[in-house]
Chain A
Amino acid sequence: MSRVSPRARRLSLAVLSLLVASAAPGSAQSLFAGAGLGYQQAPSTARAAALGGLLVAPHEPTLSLVNPAAPGGLLASALGITVQSDDARADLPGGSGTASTVRFPAIQAALPVGQRWVLTAGYGTLLDQAFRAEHRDSVRLGGESVGVMDSRSATGGVATLHLGGAFRPVEALSLGATVVLRTGSTQHELTRVFDDPALAGARMDGNWSYRGIGLLGGALWSPGEAVTVGAAVGGGGSLEGSGTIIAETPGGERRLDERSYSMPITVSLGVTGRVGPGSLVTVSGERAGWSAANDGLTRPARDTWFVSAGLEWDALRIAGRDIPLRLGARHKELPFAFEGEDWAAERSLTAGLGIRMAGDFAQLDLSAERGSRGGEAIGIEESFWRLAFTATVLGR
Chain B
Amino acid sequence: MNAGALLALLVGLPACQDDLPTALDPAQTPGFVTLEERLEPAEHLEDIGVFRGFADPRAAPYLLVAREFDGALSAHALARFSALPDSIRYSSGGALITDTAYTVLSGELKTVVDTLSFPTGSSVTLEAWSIAQDWDPSSVTWTHAVDTAGAREAWATPGGTRGELLGSVEWPQGAAGSDSLTMELDWSKLEALLEDFSTPDILVTAVGAGSRIQLGRIDLVVRVQPETTDTIIDITAPVEAQRFITSSTLTLHPWQVGGVTGDRHLFRLKLPPLLACPSCPAGTIRSNQVMLARAELIFDSQAVPGGFRPMRSLQVVLRRLGDPPRGAGDEVRWDLAPLGSELAGAQFEPSRFEAGGEGPVTMVITGIVREMQLRDLPINVAAMVEPSGSTFGFARLAPPRLRLIYTIPQQPELP
Contact = CB atoms under 8 A, between A and B. Distances in A.
Contacts of B7: 79, 81, 107, 109, 121, 123
B116 interface: no
Given A150-B29, A259-B414, A131 B23 contact: yes
A232 B290 CA distance: 52
B176 interface: no
B96 interface: no
Interface centre among A100, A200, A252, A296 (most CB of B within 10 A): A200
Interface stretch (A19-27, A220-228, A302-310): A19-27
A13 B20 CA distance: 31
Interface stretch (A134-142, A276-284, A364-372): A134-142
B293 interface: yes
Interface string B1-44: 11110110011010111111111111111111010100000000
B25 A339 contact: yes
Contact of B34 (A81, A192, A297): A192
B22 A101 contact: no
A245 interface: yes
Given A99-B20, A101-B15, A139-B34, A248 B10 contact: no
A123 B20 contact: no
Given A141-B36, A250-B288, A393-B3, A152 B414 contact: no
Nearest to A9: B1
A152 B30 contact: yes
A120 interface: no
Contacts of B376: 250
Interface centre among B7, B374, B407 (most CB of A within 10 A): B407
Interface in B166-221: none
Given A79-B3, A141-B405, A134 B410 contact: no
B161 interface: no
Interface string A140-161: 0110000010111101000000
A29 B20 contact: yes
Given A204-B30, A250-B373, A339-B25, A194 B293 contact: yes
Interface in B258-296: 288-294
B6 A134 contact: no
Nearest to A34: B28
A121 B3 CA distance: 12
Given A130-B17, A256-B413, A34 B293 contact: no
Interface string A181-202: 0000000101110100011111
Given A249-B288, A339-B25, A141 B34 contact: yes
A81 to B, nearest CB: 6
Interface string A240-264: 0111010111111010111100000
Interface string A77-91: 101010000001010
A251 B286 CA distance: 11
Contact of A252 (B6, B293, B409): B409
B412 interface: yes
Contacts of B415: 36-38, 241, 259, 297-299, 336
Contact of A30 (B2, B21, B289, B403): B21
B366 interface: yes
A27 B292 contact: no
B230 to A, nearest CB: 70
Nearest to A157: B15
Interface in A1-45: 4, 9, 12-13, 16, 19-20, 23-31, 34, 36-38
A238 interface: no
Interface in A102-145: 102-104, 107, 109, 121, 123, 130-135, 137, 139, 141-142
Given A90-B21, A200-B294, A150 B30 contact: yes
B13 A95 contact: no
Interface residues of B, number: 51
A258 B414 CA distance: 8
Contact of B15 (A9, A97, A104, A297): A104
Contact of B291 (A19, A132, A142, A249): A249
A101 B23 contact: no
Nearest to A93: B24
Interface in B86-125: none
A371 B413 CA distance: 32
Contact of A25 (B16, B30, B409): B16
A65 B24 CA distance: 35
Nearest to B403: A142
Contacts of B30: 150-152, 190-192, 204
Interface string A373-396: 000000000100000000001010
A287 B284 CA distance: 49
Contact of A206 (B26, B31, B374, B412): B412
A241 B407 CA distance: 27
A139 to B, nearest CB: 5
Contact of A4 (B3, B22, B409): B3
A339 B34 contact: no
B3 A77 contact: yes
Nearest to A189: B30
A24 B414 contact: no
B291 to A, nearest CB: 4
A250 B292 CA distance: 11
Contacts of A94: 24
A178 B15 CA distance: 25
A47 B401 CA distance: 70
Contacts of B405: 141, 199
18 contacts: A4-B2, A25-B16, A92-B24, A93-B24, A95-B24, A101-B16, A103-B15, A121-B7, A131-B21, A133-B22, A142-B403, A148-B32, A192-B30, A200-B291, A249-B291, A250-B374, A252-B409, A257-B413
Interface of B: 1-4, 6-7, 10-11, 13, 15-32, 34, 36, 288-294, 364, 366, 373-374, 376, 403, 405, 407, 409-415
Given A28-B20, A101-B15, 20 more contacts: A19-B10, A23-B15, A37-B415, A79-B3, A79-B7, A93-B24, A95-B24, A100-B19, A123-B7, A131-B28, A135-B24, A141-B405, A190-B410, A192-B30, A200-B293, A200-B294, A200-B366, A201-B293, A243-B414, A247-B291
